[in-house]
Amino acid sequence: MSNKKSNPTIGPVEFSVVDESMQVSIGRLQTNANTLLLGLGLLVLLATPAVFSGYFVGLLVVAFIYGIFAISVDLVWGYAGILSFGHAAFFGLGAYLMGVITTELSLPSIGLLGLVLAFLVPAVVGLVVAGVLFSRGISEEYFTIITLALAIVASQAALILSDVTGGSNGLTEIPPLGVEIPGVMTYIISHNQYYFVVLVALVAVFLIGKRIVQSPFGTTLVGINENETKISSLGYNPIKYKTIVFGLSTGIAGFAGALYAAYSGFISPPLLGFVLSTEVLVWVLVGGRGTLIGPVIGATALYLAENMFSGMFLNTWVLMLGLLLVVIVLVFPAGIIGVFSIIEKKINKYLKDT
C-alpha cells in the first residue's frame, strides 16, 4: 500500500480501481461500484410507490414480473446458448395453473400452492422436453424451431381445452394472492402491497440466478456454450447440464406467469403464444444477454416505453420492435449493459490515469 496514489474523491467518497472493477469507499466502508449502484437502485424502487401514481406502480409490477421472465430466458440463452422461441408457453402454463387452481379450488392459501405448482410443473415439462430432445442429439436451430412450435401448440391447446381454460375468453376473476389460516386470520395482499411482493421475488430470482451462474455449474454451462466438444472430453455431460438449466428456466418462467395471473386477474391464450415469446427475447437482447441484470432493465424499460408512449406509436409499436431487433442484432449485440460496460471501462481508465 506504500505506492498507493491518491484517488479521485467527491466529498467523503473515494473512487479507485481494483481488478478492473471500480471500488467506492465512504470513510471505512468500501464496496464494488456495481453493487453500490444496484443497492441504490433498489432503494429508489422501494421508495417509488410513495412518490408515483398507482398507475405507474401498476406498470412497474408487470414490468418486474416480465423481468423475472426475462431472467429465466437469459439463463438458457445468455449462458447456455439455447435459444428458445417458445418460452411464453411455460410462462402461460404457470399462469393457467395458477388461474385454474385458484378459481376451481377454494382452499385456504391456495394461491401459495399455486405459486409452488406453477414452478414445479413447467420445470418438469421443461426437463422432459429438453432431456428428450438433447439426448436425441437435436441441433440447436432445430431446438429453436421446436420451441416456436411449442408456443403455437400451447396457445392452440388453450383454445381447444375450453372447459378448463375458458377458450378464447380466457379465465377471469383469478383471486389475488393471500394468506389464510381458517378461523385465525385472512390476509389478502392489495395491489399496492403486491408491488413489494413482486420486487422481493425479482430480487430473490436475480440473486439465485447470480449464484447459479457463478457456481461451477454455471461456469460449466458457459464452457458448453463456447466449446461443447471440449467440455464433454473433460468428462462433463453437456446434455445433463443443458437439460437441468432448461428445466430451471422453464420453472422460473412458470413462476413469473403465476405472479402475473394473480396480479392481473385475467389470462387468455395469447399469453402462451409466440408474440410474448418474441417480446421476451427482445427484452433480453436490448438489456444485454448473459448479464441477468440487463434483461431486467430491458424488460422494464421496454414495457414502460410500450405503455407510456403507446399513444405515439399506436400502430407502429410492433414495427419498431421488429426494426429494433434487427438493429440490435446487427449493430449492438451486447445491449444496454454492453454500453454500460464500455462507459465503465472508460471511467476506470480515467481513474487509473489520474
Partner 1 sequence: MAELATTLLLNALSAALALSLVALGLAIIYGFMGVINLAHGAFLTVGAYIAWVMPERLGISFWVALVLAPIIVGVIGAFIERVVIRHLYDRLLDTILATWGISLALVELVKLAFGTTSKSVSNPLSGSIDLGVTVYPAYRLFLIGFCIVILVGVFMFFKSTDVGVRLRAVIQDPDAASLQGLNKTRMYQYSFASGAALAGLGGAAIAPITTVNPTMGVTYLLESFFAVILGGTGALIAVVPGSIIVAGSANIMTFMISPILAQTIVFVFVIVAMIVRPQGIVPEAWHE
* Per-position x/- string for 77-116, each x denoting binding to partner 1 as judged by CB under 8 A, each - no binding: ----x-x-x-------------------------------
142 binds partner 1 (CB under 8 A): yes
Q: Residue 137 or 182: which CB sits closer to partner 1? A: 137
145 binds partner 1 (CB under 8 A): yes
| Among the listed residues 193, 166, 160, the one whose alpha carbon sits nearest the alpha carbon of residue 262 | 193
138 binds partner 1 (CB under 8 A): yes
Find the part of the chain contacting partner 1 (CB under 8 A) among 6-14, 39-47, 325-333, 344-352. 325-333
319 binds partner 1 (CB under 8 A): yes
Q: Residue 22 or 158: which CB sits closer to partner 1? A: 158
Q: Residue 59 or 148: which CB sits closer to partner 1? A: 148
* Footprint (CB under 8 A) of partner 1, residues 279-298: 281, 285
134 binds partner 1 (CB under 8 A): no
**Is-contact 267 171, C-beta < 8 A?**
yes
Q: Residue 16 or 72: which CB sits closer to partner 1? A: 72
323 binds partner 1 (CB under 8 A): yes
Q: Tell the smallest beta-carbon distance from residue 67 to partner 1 (Å).
A: 20
222 binds partner 1 (CB under 8 A): no
338 binds partner 1 (CB under 8 A): no
Q: How far is CA 201 from CA 67, 156, 228, 251, 258, in A?
A: 10, 30, 33, 14, 12
Q: Residue 27 or 137: which CB sits closer to partner 1? A: 137
- Which residue from 133, 221, 224, 297 is in contact with partner 1, where contact means CB under 8 A? 133
* Footprint (CB under 8 A) of partner 1, residues 156-185: 156-157, 159-160
Q: Tell the smallest beta-carbon distance from residue 137 to partner 1 (Å).
A: 6
As a whole number of angstroms, the distance between CA 54 and CA 45 comes to: 14
H, E, C per residue of the chain: CCCCCCCCEECCEEEEEECCEEEEEECCEEEEHHHHHHHHHHHHHHHHHHHCCHHHHHHHHHHHHHHHHHHHHHHHHHHCCCCCCCHHHHHHHHHHHHHHHHHHCCCCCHHHHHHHHHHHHHHHHHHHHHHHHHHCCCCHHHHHHHHHHHHHHHHHHHHHCHHHHCHHHCECCCCCCEEEECCCEEEECCHHHHHHHHHHHHHHHHHHHHHHHHCHHHHHHHHHHHCHHHHHHCCCCHHHHHHHHHHHHHHHHHHHHHHHHHHHCCECHHHHCHHHHHHHHHHHHHHCCCCCHHHHHHHHHHHHHHHHCCCCCCCCHHHHHHHHHHHHHHHCCCHHHHHHHHHHHHHHHHHHHC
329 binds partner 1 (CB under 8 A): yes
Q: Which long-range contacts (CB under 8 A, 24 or more apart) does 310-315 make?
A: none
Q: Residue 249 or 348: which CB sits closer to partner 1? A: 249
Q: How many residues bind partner 1 (CB under 8 A)?
A: 40
149 binds partner 1 (CB under 8 A): yes
Q: Residue 202 or 284: which CB sits closer to partner 1? A: 284
Q: Tell the smallest beta-carbon distance from residue 163 to partner 1 (Å).
A: 14
As a whole number of angstroms, the distance between CA 158 and CA 27 comes to: 58
153 binds partner 1 (CB under 8 A): yes
Q: Tell the smallest beta-carbon distance from residue 142 to partner 1 (Å).
A: 6
Task: Give the binding site for partner 1 (CB under 8 A).
Answer: 81, 83, 85, 132-133, 136-142, 144-146, 148-149, 152-153, 156-157, 159-160, 274, 278, 281, 285, 315-316, 318-319, 321-326, 329-330, 333
